[in-house]
Chain A
């Protein structure tokens, strides 16, 4: 089954304690991205990756890091989480063929930073 998986689904942590949210896709997609969703703001792109070893900042990259060492994995790293990073995070992957493209989203990770 084609899917994007994220782990953990729920996480409560404290300020400053490094954490990693994993994201994996089994569709061999080149493009992957991370979003955060906050009430009233919709989804905002944090980072994206066009392919292995190619990453770039989205709209709200501050406080986050990513890596793309393999095509299937795109982990999101919070080196020193702060309460304003409390949010719902989505990972997505897609494949673009000409003008055809659809993003597949993971189930989301709810993060609470105390």
Chain B
């Protein structure tokens, strides 16, 4: 069965430090998608990135970057020069189609605290 593991329950860093959030996934499929979402204290879910299984290029968006490594089934998320506004819970998710059924499996989330 597919699974998403975010081993870090909570991370606390001081502003301007770099921080990496880990995500490890399990799947039997060759075609799948990986996502990262942010959930700030206000509660809404904010889409950050989607990556399909055929695209292993790393991606950078401002202070955010993602490292997709198929060999280790990992899709890690790094925030460079963190800011207090980055404080949130971050979720990694895996989606795939199994027997024509769509499934989206979420990790338990990592709570990121950025201290001023």
Contact = CB atoms under 8 A, between A and B. Distances in A.
B102 A105 contact: no
B95 interface: yes
B109 A42 contact: yes
Interface in A60-114: 88, 90, 99-105, 107-108
A73 B103 CA distance: 20
A43 B35 CA distance: 13
Interface residues of B, number: 21
Given A101-B33, A101-B50, A101-B95, A48 B108 contact: no
A43 B33 contact: no
Q: Is the interface of A mostly helix, strand, loop or mixed?
A: strand
Contact of B91 (A33, A43, A104): A43
16 contacts: A42-B106, A42-B108, A42-B109, A43-B91, A43-B106, A45-B103, A58-B103, A88-B43, A99-B33, A99-B52, A99-B54, A101-B95, A103-B35, A105-B44, A105-B47, A108-B45
Interface in B68-110: 91, 93, 95, 101-104, 106-109
Interface string B10-53: 00000000000000000000010101000000011101001010
Contacts of A107: 43-44
Given A40-B108, A42-B91, A42-B107, A102 B47 contact: yes
A29 interface: no
B114 to A, nearest CB: 21
Q: Is the interface of B mostly helix, strand, loop or mixed?
A: strand
Interface of B: 31, 33, 35, 43-45, 47, 50, 52, 54, 91, 93, 95, 101-104, 106-109
A31 B47 contact: no
How large, as a class, is the contact surface on chain A? Answer: 20 to 34
Given A103-B35, A107-B44, 11 more contacts: A41-B108, A42-B107, A43-B91, A43-B93, A45-B104, A56-B101, A101-B33, A103-B47, A105-B44, A105-B45, A105-B47
Nearest to B45: A105
Contact of A108 (B33, B43, B104): B43
